Amino acid sequence: MSDAEALFAVLRQSADPAAAAALEKLVRDGPEPALNRINALAFAAANGLGEERTIAALLHATRLGLFQMSWNVLCPGCGGMLGAYASLKTVQSEQYHCHLCAAGYEPTLDEMVEVTFTVDPRIRRIPAHVPHELPFADYYRQIFCSSGVDIPEDLETRLEQIMLDVVELPPGEKAILSLQLPAEFVIVFDPVTHATQFIDVQGEPTRERQSLTMVLNKLSTPNSTLAMHPGPLRLTLENATDTRVLPGVWIANDAMHDILGRRRHFLTAKRLLTNQTFRDLYRADTLDIDQRLKIVSLTFLFTDLKGSTELYERVGDLVAFDLVKAHFQLLNDIVAEESGAVVKTIGDAVMATFPSPDRALAAALRIREAMRGFNSERQREELLLKIGIHEGPCLAVMLNDRQDYFGQTVNIAARVQHLAMSRAIFATRPVVEDPQSAALLDGAGLTATAQHYALRGLASEMPVYEIP
């Protein structure tokens, strides 16, 4: 048995068998590009697999050494890669600049950081393991573009239509291109260094040769737009880096924007941080102690047991502990099945996160029903659960040696839970007015009723909805 076969045998024991089998088939028979920067969501859809089980299988496979995980900072405009890192700990810049889009972005974990998986070279060697040897179109497809870009199958043909020229330039080399500039907006762009020069070609055509020199280095900075006339251009390109570069001259027309603008869903860092398998496998190995990463929207669910002190007194510590432990496992299973993760337990309380309000609400409804069954089996209401949900921005941080969250959204969610009575679900307006949440309530025949409450730390009252 080969090393890969042995590792896949282990994977089948720890992950969903169908997902493990699909990954094994991909590694054994899949085309080489498909093994680079795997989009977990697209892979799940293509193989008829559940997203959460596919993500879990890829995480287990990475832990076993079958794949390498990459945290990639993306440009939300063009979908290009602004940085690729082996760990989220190295996403440290306060701002990333895309020279192609001439825009700067503060990184957030919602849509600007993706997580992809590439087969480990010890398992199977693919050309993407040596990116400086890839042809231009393959480099653009496999290295420059994020997994959220839906690259057309006929990319090479489309590139021929929008590129005046492209050159492969070894380290320290110089190239001179003779071009005929059309009366359009033109971009000189290198996907390796991201060096960019905009040229606004307009006015009367000229027969005089125009000249432009561009030095490509790893410290490229934004350039002002040059004005030139339609006509001949002598373009001198100099590679001042220690790696091969691939500068090309692009026509920035609708065809170019069509290539850059095609999108598909991808696995965001936010979603992975709210994945239970990820938290179980990686625990503290996520952020540096002083790192603070923004999340635009995360949904928090808090639960707490009502009357737990009386429960311990009534049934004794040993029986009460077993009941509370069983309730924790029930909550953990449902949270994980609804794309969430339990961040921590605080006494008898639970703090969980979800990528969207509807998943948190779905989990809350299931938890409430499961607790009814839990108590029904014992023919008495031993455990009465209070639930609160709130959605909003927050910071991903490290607290007490584990990945946690900080901010007013967390505080409000906890205080909303304190308002709840036993068996009640209390949620804020962002949760109940989310379109998917509203559809979920409507499908369950439930109506959320609002009351205004003064929450500690807030200057004014806010509406909180009770879901019966």
- Measured CA to CA in angstroms, residue 5 lies from 24, 28, 222, 270 at distances of 8, 10, 49, 32
Residues paired with residue 353 on neighbouring β-strands, in sequence order = 300, 341
Average pLDDT score over the chain: 92
Query: What percent of the chain has a predicted confidence (pLDDT) above 90?
Result: 76
Amino acid code (one letter) for 19? A
**Average pLDDT, integer, range 257-264:** 89
Cα–Cα dist 51/272, whole Å: 11
Whole-prediction pTM: 0.90
Give the model's pLDDT for residue 310: 67
* 211 has pLDDT over 70: yes
Identity at 421, one-letter amino acid code: M
Q: Residue 222 pLDDT > 80, yes or no? A: no
Please tell me the predicted confidence (pLDDT) of residue 221: 66
Taking residue 424's Cβ as centre, other Cβ atoms within 10 Å add up to 18
- pLDDT score recorded for residue 13: 94
- Least confident among 186-195, 216-225, 291-300, 311-320: 311-320
Residue 321 vs residue 258, higher pLDDT: 258
pLDDT tens-digit profile of 146-187? 999 999 999 999 999 999 999 999 999 999 999 999 999 999
| Neighbour count for residue 23 (Cβ, 10 Å) | 28
Angle subtended by helix axes 317-337 and 357-377, to nearest 10:
140
Q: Do residues 142 and 133 lie in contact, with contact meaning Cβ atoms separated by under 8 Å?
A: no
Is residue 224 helix, strand or coil? coil
Tens of pLDDT, residue by residue over 108-155, are 999 999 999 999 999 999 999 999 999 999 999 999 999 999 999 999
Domains detected in the chain: 3-145 (no CATH), 158-261 (no CATH), 285-467 (3.30.70.1230)
7-to-3, 15, 125, 288 alpha-carbon distances in Å: 6, 12, 17, 30
pLDDT at 335 over 60: yes
With a cut of 70, say whether residue 279 has pLDDT above it: yes
pLDDT at residue 457 is higher than 80: no
pLDDT band at 309 (very low <50, low <70, confident <90, very high): low
pLDDT band for position 376 (cuts 50, 70, 90): confident
Q: How far apart are CA 12 and CA 19, in angstroms?
A: 9
Closest CA to 7 of 68, 60, 69, 53: 60
- In this model, does residue 459 exceed pLDDT 80? no
What phi and psi values does residue 234 have, to the nearest 5 degrees? -100, 105
Integer Cα distance of 134 and 157 in angstroms:
17
Q: For residue 186, which amino acid is it? A: V
Q: Which residues contact residue 268 at a Cβ distance below 8 angstroms, ignoring those fewer than 6 apart?
A: 109, 110, 111, 113, 114, 115, 355
Dist. CA 356–CA 367, nearest whole Å: 17
pLDDT at 430 over 80: yes
Provide the sign of the torsion angle of the four alpha carbons 342, 343, 349, 354, taken in this order. negative
Q: What pLDDT band is residue 291 in, cutting at 50, 70 and 90?
A: confident
What's the pLDDT at 347?
A: 84
Token pair for 230 = 């339609």
Element (H, E) at 318: helix 317-337
